[in-house]
Amino acid sequence: MTQVSIVRTMSAGGPYRGGAPADDQVIRTVVLEQRGPMELAARLSLMSFEQACRAVVSTLKRTIPLASWAVTRHDGDRQVFVAVEDDVYGAVAGDSRAWADSFCRSMVAGETPPIAPDVSAVPEYAARALALGLVVGTYAGAPVRAADGSVVGSLYGQDPMVGADDLLRHAPLLELLAALLGQVLQGDQREAEARHGAADLCWRATHDPLTGLPNRVLFSQRVQHALAVRRRQRHPLGVLLLDVDGVTVVDGPDGPVVDAPVVDGPVVDGADGHATAERVHAEVARRVAGTLRAGDTLARLDHDAFAVLIEDGGDPHAAAGRVLDCLRAPVEAHGASVTVHCSVGVVELPVDHPPTDVDAVLARPDAARYSDEHAVESPVGVHDLLPADPALRLLGALRWAIAAGDVELHYQAIVELGEPDVRSFESLARWRLGGRWVPPEVFVPLAARSGLLPALTAHLMDTACAQLARWSADPGHPGTRVGVNVSPDSLTDPAFPDLVAGCLARHGVRADQLVLEITEDALLTDLDAAAVVTARLQALGTPLSLDDFGTGYSSLRHLRHIPLATFKIDRSFTRDLDTDPGAERFVAALLQLGRDLGMEVVVEGVERPGQLAVLRRLGCRYAQGWLLARAVPAADVRWTADLDVDAHDRPTRLDCTSVC
C-alpha cells in the first residue's frame, strides 16, 4: 500500500505524469523485484544523504542496466551531481550543468514523461539532446522532493540506445527511491538543525548574549580549573569583581539627568532606556577587555556585574587600576553622553594562601574594594563586596544538601486504569531549605550547571532503592517498581551501569524494579555511546523509560537503537485532550505507536476527569497525574487508586509537592 500511495502522489501534476498505466499487477511485480522495500528503507534511513544517493545509484545500475544513473540536487540555476555511475557521458560527482539544459527540468515540470524508452518519440527530449550534442536513446527519472513538496533534486538514468517498452514498469520503483531519498535528506536537515541548535544552546548556556563574554557558569568552571592548577603548580591567582553601580547621563537631548542605576533604567526617557543600558554594558565589556592580557578571562556574571580571572602571576591590583581608568571617559549612547560609576573588588590568592573553592573566591567578604572616586593608590580600606549572588548561596546549600542526603524523594503513582492496585511510582526530587520548598525547576538546573547532577542522581537512585527494599519486604508489595530520573551524562558514562548494579546489590532490589527515566535530549550528545551504556543496562535487567516524549528533539531512530521498555507522553499533549479533537487524535496515534512497538505507554498530566474519560475511550492502559495521585512522601503513598474520580473529587494543589 505504501508503494501505491507513492505512485498516485507522484503521478499528479502534468500531462505526462505516471507514464503507462500502472495496474495492481505491475505494482505487485515491482514490490517483489525490490526484495523487501521496508528493508531498503531501513538501510537508507541509517545513511547520510550522500551515502544514500550512492547506494540508490548502485542499486539502479544493477537493477535497470542503463549506461548512466545519477542523483542530482538543485543549486540555484545549476544541477549538481551528488552521486553518479556513468559509462558513456563522462559525468562525475561534483559536476554541474545548467538546469535549463537538463532533461529533468521538463520532467519535473510535467511537460515530458518521466520514462521515455525512445527519446526520439518525445519532441522536447529529442530537441534538447540535439541542442546539447548528446546521443540519448532512453531516459528515466523521478523528482526528489522536500517535505513541503518542493523539488530539491532528481534521480535519473539515460542510455544512448533505445530501451524496451517494459522500462515503464519500473516507474513505481524510481518514484519510491526518489521519495526515500527525500526522506533521508529531510532527516539530514533535521539532524543538522538539531546539532546547530544544540551547539547554540551550549553557547547560550555558557555565554552572555549581549557581550559574547563567558557567563557565570563558564567563569566558575575556569576559576575552578585555575584553582586546581594553583594547587598543583603553586601559582598565584587573582580575581576582579567589577560592579556597575550607576550612571549619570550628561549632555543628553534634554540636558543633564540625575544619577540612575543602570539596572533600574531607563537611564533616558522613552524606549531608548533599555537600549542605552545595553550600550553601556557592551562598552564596559569592550573597554575592560582592552586592558587585559591575552591569558586573562573576562566574564559577565549578571546584569551589572563583571569579573576578571588573572592567572600566571599577573598583578590584580594593577589590573583593577587599569579597569577603573578605562571607564572614566563617558560612553556615547543614543545621543547622550553617559558617565559610568563603578567599583572593583580584588580577591588575591598568593602562593602561600590556604586552599579554597570557587564559591569562596566569588563571594569573599574580605576582598579589598576600590572606587572610581579615589585614586588606585588610595584604596578604600577593606569592605564587604556587594551581597553574594543568590544562585551562589543556593549552590553552596545544594552541595551540602546532596552530601548530607537532605534532598528527598516524593512518589507519584503510575496508575493502571483497569486495575485499582498501585504497583508503580515515579520518584520526584524535593528539597526543603529553611522551612520552604525550593522548586525542582530551580535546583535541578542549578545542579546541572554546577556539575552536581551526577552526585544528585546517585543520591536519588540510592534513596529510591532503599525505599524499594523496604516496600519489597512487605508481603503486600513485593513487585513494586519505582522510576528514577537520570542525568543525560549518565547515559554516556561507561561506569554508570556498574553504579546501578552496585546500588541494586547494596539494597537487595531486583533490577526490574528500578526504572531509569531518561529524556530525549540525553540521546543527542553521543547516540553511539548511549547505545553501549543502555545495552549494558538492558543486560542488567533494568528497564528504560523515555520521559516527556515529544518535547525534545525526537527521532524514531532512538526508539530503534535504544532498548526502551516504556515511553511517557508529555503533559503538553494531554493539556487539551478533552477539548481539542486534534489533541485526541495525536495522543491516539502515540498510543498506537507504543502498541505497534510492543512498548508500554504512560500518559502524563492527567488533571481533569474529562482527560481521564478520553484516555479510557482510547484504550490507554497507564496514566499519571495529580487527578489520580499527588506526589507525596513514601509514608503517605496510597496503594489503591480511586478510578471513579469525578469533578467533585479533583485534588487541590497545595504546594510544589502537588506538581507532577
Q: What is the CATH number of the domain that holds 128?
A: 3.30.450.40
User: Of 121, 155, 190, which one is at a domain's C-terminal end?
Assistant: 190
pLDDT confidence of residue 462? 96
The residue ranking higher by pLDDT, 441 or 522, is 441
- Residue 262: domain span: 216-387
State yes or no: pLDDT of 482 exceeds 90. yes
Contacts 24+ apart (CB under 8 A), 107-111: 107/139, 107/141, 107/143, 107/154, 107/156, 108/143, 108/151, 108/154, 109/14, 110/13, 110/14, 110/15, 110/16, 110/17, 111/14, 111/15, 111/16
pLDDT digit string, tens, across residues 358-397: 777 776 533 334 433 333 332 222 222 333 345 545 766 7
pTM score above 0.75: no
The answer as to whether 210 is a domain residue is no
Q: How confident is the model at residue 480 (pLDDT cuts 50, 70, 90)?
A: very high
Which has the closest alpha carbon to 178: 86, 23, 40?
40
pLDDT digit string, tens, across residues 326-356: 988 888 877 778 788 887 888 877 666 666 6
Provide, rounded to the nearest whole percent, the portion of the chain with pLDDT above 90.
Answer: 42
The answer as to whether 202 is a domain residue is no
pLDDT confidence of residue 617? 95
Alpha carbon distance 87, 622 (integer Å): 60
Domain identity same for 456 and 538? yes
Strands, E assignment, 417-460: 424-433, 436-438
The answer as to whether 546 is a domain residue is yes
CA distances from 43 to 55, 153, 528, 557 (A): 10, 21, 17, 12
Element (H, E) at 307: strand 305-310
pLDDT confidence of residue 355? 66
The answer as to whether 462 is a domain residue is yes
User: Of 354, 387, 420, which one is at a domain's C-terminal end?
Assistant: 387
The residue ranking higher by pLDDT, 452 or 580, is 580
Domain identity same for 293 and 435? no
Q: Sort strands 514-519 and 96-98 into parallel, antiparallel or unpaired.
A: unpaired
Domain identity same for 379 and 422? no
Contact (CB, 8 A) for 263 and 278: no
Domain identity same for 506 and 373? no
User: Of 352, 371, 387, which one is at a domain's C-terminal end?
Assistant: 387
Alpha carbon distance 496, 414 (integer Å): 26
The answer as to whether 208 is a domain residue is no
State yes or no: pLDDT of 510 exceeds 60. yes
* CA-derived radius of gyration, the chain: 33
Which has the closest alpha carbon to 601: 537, 538, 546?
546
Domain identity same for 163 and 241? no
Provide, rounded to the nearest whole percent, the portion of the chain with pLDDT above 70.
Answer: 79
Asked which of 107-121, 139-153, 183-197 is least confident by mean pLDDT, the reply is 183-197
Which has the closest alpha carbon to 433: 442, 425, 424?
442
Task: Look at the chain and report how many structural domains it folds into.
Answer: 3
Asked which of 286-295, 301-310, 384-393, 470-479 is least confident by mean pLDDT, the reply is 384-393
Domain identity same for 419 and 560? yes
The answer as to whether 196 is a domain residue is no
Q: What DSSP character marks residue 100?
A: G
CA distances from 380 to 344, 346, 361, 375, 384 (A): 11, 12, 20, 9, 11
State yes or no: pLDDT of 273 exceeds 70. no
| Greatest alpha-carbon span in the chain | 97
Alpha carbon distance 286, 273 (integer Å): 20
The answer as to whether 207 is a domain residue is no
**Which grid coordinates are listed for 263?**
539596572
The answer as to whether 330 is a domain residue is yes
pLDDT confidence of residue 416? 93
Phi-psi region of 648 (alpha: psi -120 to 50; beta: other; left: phi over 0): alpha
State yes or no: pLDDT of 187 exceeds 80. yes
pLDDT digit string, tens, across residues 604-618: 999 999 999 999 999
pLDDT digit string, tens, across residues 421-479: 899 999 999 998 877 888 898 888 888 876 788 889 999 999 999 999 999 999 888 88
pLDDT confidence of residue 154? 96
Instruction: For 261-279, give the DSSP string.
Output: -TTT--SSSTTHHHHHHHH
Q: How far is CA 658 from the centre of its chain?
A: 28
CB proximity list for 266: less than 8 A, separation 6 or greater? 260, 272, 273, 274, 276, 277
Write down the mean pLDDT value for the chain.
Answer: 80
* CATH code for the domain in which residue 599 is found: 3.20.20.450
State yes or no: pLDDT of 643 exceeds 50. yes
Domain identity same for 149 and 268? no
Alpha carbon distance 657, 660 (integer Å): 8
pLDDT confidence of residue 597? 87
pLDDT confidence of residue 542? 95
Q: How confident is the model at residue 36 (pLDDT cuts 50, 70, 90)?
A: low
pLDDT confidence of residue 85? 95
Question: What is the number of other CB atoms lying within 10 angstroms of the CB of residue 134?
Answer: 15
With cell 500518559, the residue in question is 603
pLDDT confidence of residue 425? 97
Domain identity same for 460 and 420? yes
Q: Give exposure, 203-214, as e/b (b: 16+ Cβ within 10 Å).
A: eeebbbeebebb
Domain identity same for 223 and 82? no
Domain identity same for 92 and 117? yes
Domain identity same for 435 and 554? yes
* CATH code for the domain in which residue 346 is found: 3.30.70.270
pLDDT digit string, tens, across residues 407-420: 999 999 999 998 88
pLDDT confidence of residue 334? 72
Domain identity same for 399 and 530? yes
